[in-house]
Chain A
Amino acid sequence: MQLNTAVTRSQEAILATNKVIKNTYILLSMSLLFSAFAAFLGVITGIGHGAALVASIAGIAMLWFVLPRTANSAAGIPVLFGITGLLGFGLGPVLNYYLAVNPSIVMTALGGTGAIFLGLSGYALTTRKDFSFLGGFVMVGMLVVLGAALLNIFLGIPALFLAVNAAVVMIMSAFILWETSSLIHNGETNYIMAAAGLFLSILNMFQALLHLLGAFGGND
């Protein structure tokens, strides 16, 4: 009797985990499409750097202060679309710049980001390894990268800019493994928060790849 109850609970836990993973990837796909549409609007309207910065700040502020309060209700979904839309729109000037320099950079960065995300997610989902030990590494890495980026606003060293972008690719890769593993091992049970985290890692990786390809691509 006790064994049957334990087996039923275990099956329920697996089903619940699979449901969270499925919902996370559906919501992530939809928010990426919406963000791509917003980025397209940012490109065709020729949004300036100031407006892009305001859109990005608004998106991050919603992510910090509104999403955690709404993520456990249906209101979390439109909030997530608002965040992804604003952050996508904020990409406008960067995309316009690279489209003018060499359009293949944008397509390569987009394809590369998709391939890295699918590869790492597939790795975490198929091996079912627990990457929870990466939590501290990811957070410290983010702080170091943000500190270096802040410093480089005043110093303007091109090598530091490239090092920061290379580090962002590595840290976002670690974040994808960590977040996906967290979904599998029930660390994250809210698919809206999980989709938001994965969206941010994809967005940051795309931007970092754009800068790396732009710098080393030979047309910059």
Chain B
Amino acid sequence: MDWLKIGSALFLLAMIIFLFPRAKHAIENSPKGSMQDWMGYIVPMAAVILFVILLIALV
């Protein structure tokens, strides 16, 4: 294993350690979304997925 892989792994590990308390805080303090709220997220996400498929077809 080369040092580049080790460096990348340490970098990702540091990001996980740094993000963990923020994720915990966000889970505990984020408001719960209703079914309607989630639909407002799912519809644009479906559009993004279709758009990415279109881009893949174009390349």
Q: What is A's interface to B at a CB cutoff of 8 Å?
A: 49-50, 53, 56-57, 60, 64, 102, 104-105, 108-109, 112, 115-116, 119-120, 123, 127, 129-140, 142-143, 146-147, 149-150, 153-154, 166, 169-170, 173-174, 177, 209, 212-213, 216-218
CB pair B8–A143 under 8 Å, yes or no, is no
A93 to B11, CA, bound (A): 18
* Known contacts A49-B4, A142-B19, A177-B41: A56-B11 contact under CB 8 Å: yes
Central interface residue in A136, A142, A212, by most chain B CB within 10 Å: A136
- Chain B residue with the shortest CB-CB distance to A109: B55
CB pair A133–B52 under 8 Å, yes or no, is no
27 A-B contacts, Cβ less than 8 Å apart? A53-B7, A108-B55, A108-B58, A108-B59, A109-B55, A115-B51, A116-B51, A119-B44, A119-B48, A120-B44, A123-B44, A130-B37, A132-B30, A133-B33, A135-B29, A136-B23, A136-B26, A138-B26, A150-B9, A150-B16, A153-B8, A154-B9, A166-B52, A170-B48, A170-B49, A177-B44, A217-B59
How far in angstroms is the closest Cβ of chain B from A200? 11
Once A and B bind, how many residue pairs between them come within 8 Å at the CB atom?
Answer: 115
A144 to B37, CA, bound (A): 23
**B16-59 interface code vs A (CB 8 A; 1 in, 0 out):** 10111011001101111100011011001101110110011011
CB pair B23–A142 under 8 Å, yes or no, is yes
A146 to B15, CA, bound (A): 8
A81 to B44, CA, bound (A): 31
CB pair B40–A127 under 8 Å, yes or no, is yes
8 smallest CB-CB distances across A and B, nearest first, come from: A133-B33, A139-B23, A135-B30, A217-B59, A136-B30, A136-B27, A139-B26, A150-B12
CB pair A212–B4 under 8 Å, yes or no, is no
Which B residues touch A166, using CB under 8 A?
52
A57 to B14, CA, bound (A): 10
How far in angstroms is the closest Cβ of chain B from A168? 11
CB pair B19–A143 under 8 Å, yes or no, is yes
A78 to B29, CA, bound (A): 32
Which B residues touch A120, using CB under 8 A?
44, 48
CB pair B26–A53 under 8 Å, yes or no, is no
How far in angstroms is the closest Cβ of chain B from A46? 16
CB pair B40–A212 under 8 Å, yes or no, is no
CB pair B44–A134 under 8 Å, yes or no, is no
CB pair B41–A131 under 8 Å, yes or no, is yes
Which B residues touch A127, using CB under 8 A?
40
How far in angstroms is the closest Cβ of chain B from A155? 12
Which A residues touch B59, using CB under 8 A?
102, 104-105, 108, 213, 216-218
